[in-house]
Structure 1
Amino acid sequence: MDLGLANKSVFVAAASKGLGLATALEFAREGAKVVIASRNLQQLEAARQEIKEATGQEVGIVQMDVTSPEQITEAIQAAVERNGGLDVLITNAGGPPGGGFAEMEDADWSGGFDLTLMSTIRLIREALPHLRAAGGGRIVNVSSVSIKQPIQGLILSNVFRAGVNALTKSLATELAEDGILINTVAPGRIGTDRIRELDSKRADAAGVPLEQVQAEALHGIPLGRTGTPEEFGRAVVFMGSFANTYSTGQSLLVDGGSVKSL
């Protein structure tokens, strides 16, 4: 299948590692002109080299903190200038801190709001004029299965990622006349540093070995295993491609069947 991504300009946020990096790598495999952004310049350089070695493609890098409106503006502009426009935006950010309701102060709620919801809003707002100028485009918001089934101990993620999903659904109608399709892709248990960090925290809190927590997590996954970042990246690339011509406002779960809701 031709995904229609050759020479398309793609911006991937929070792409120096994990799901963002896996997504950027898959776009590069399809011949897209990719710019990746992250706070950590050293990790960005390493990611650029990894993508080049895997695909032969040169990607652009730009240092960006997703909680900084100014840096978001500068990063999107850098991608536009490098690639002569923008066709695809992938919003992404590291997950907010774990914990339950009783543990969260106002500063935690404000931080989670900025990191998870406002970063998505600001990235889309900066990208829209360029997507419209391109005659239409694609937006994919990287989220979490918590948009369908809240995850215990992740109160901030549960609340603000639901807001991202509501934004996706709302903008699908507003952007349709511009030929811009917007969707959410939500990972379940995917083998990233974030999952290992959360597993370790749960193991420490319960006073049990990390291996026990990891084994128990697999019981709720019909496929019986943790997903790979590459599997997730391929799903994002399809939803963000021009082979996707009729799906907008949707939520695609990449979770091995773990979420049971209809």
Structure 2
Amino acid sequence: MTTTLTTEALTLAYGDRTIVSDLSLSLPAGRITTIVGANACGKSTLLRGMARLLTPERGRVLLDGQDIHTMATKEVARHLGLLPQSPIAPEGITVAELVAQGRHPHRRTFARWTAAEDEIVAEALETTGVLDLADRVVDELSGGQRQRVWIALSLAQQTEVLLLDEPTTFLDVCHQIEVLDLLTDLNRSRGTTIAMVLHDLNLAARYADHLVAVRDGAVHAQGSAEEVLTEETVKIVFGLDARVVEDPISGRPLVLPLGRHHVSA
């Protein structure tokens, strides 16, 4: 059965400051959703709420139709994984040890580690291209390598839904494409439902099956990249004057910002 994740009239706040207001969203199962919006619009807060890291002021998050806040922590972790911004690994931990932590939701207390779990961890390391780094300390790796390791941990967790908050932040263009291609491979080979916050509109358009534009803590527009990334929406959501043309590589929308300089007559 395909796992579903939805929000119903979700309101999230930090103290007296409301960040997400009355937001309803359903992630298309087995597809890739990218979430875009201006800084401080509520994108990351929304992901935290969907991952049960924030308690709603109002509304609900439903995992397979059940209120996520009524579910046991391990039960949620067996179905839903989150890769936050700039995750921090325990000091001195090796790649293999970190990825093995992804098996925790599936293990009983004091249960012995099994050969089957070794195979799951090895497969996650191989799939993400970091098997040769298994004995390296995570802190010694490059940014791109570390991001692959964190994704390997998510693979070892074997969840049906994976949420990622800006997985390409601090990566150069080459590593950004590698990470997004890896997530696409995961979606296509395993049918994993993926939702990720991205800053780069053109990468968001290229990799999204479903695109969500958030403005002031609410969904302003959602649908295909062609439906969402119009010049009007870009102006409203980002305050950016731009031209939107067809990407010659993907056929998806390509956003070309208009500044005060370097515009041909």
Q: What is the TM-score when the length of structure 1 is the normalising length?
A: 0.33
Larger Rg: 2
Higher normalized helix content (fraction of residues): 1
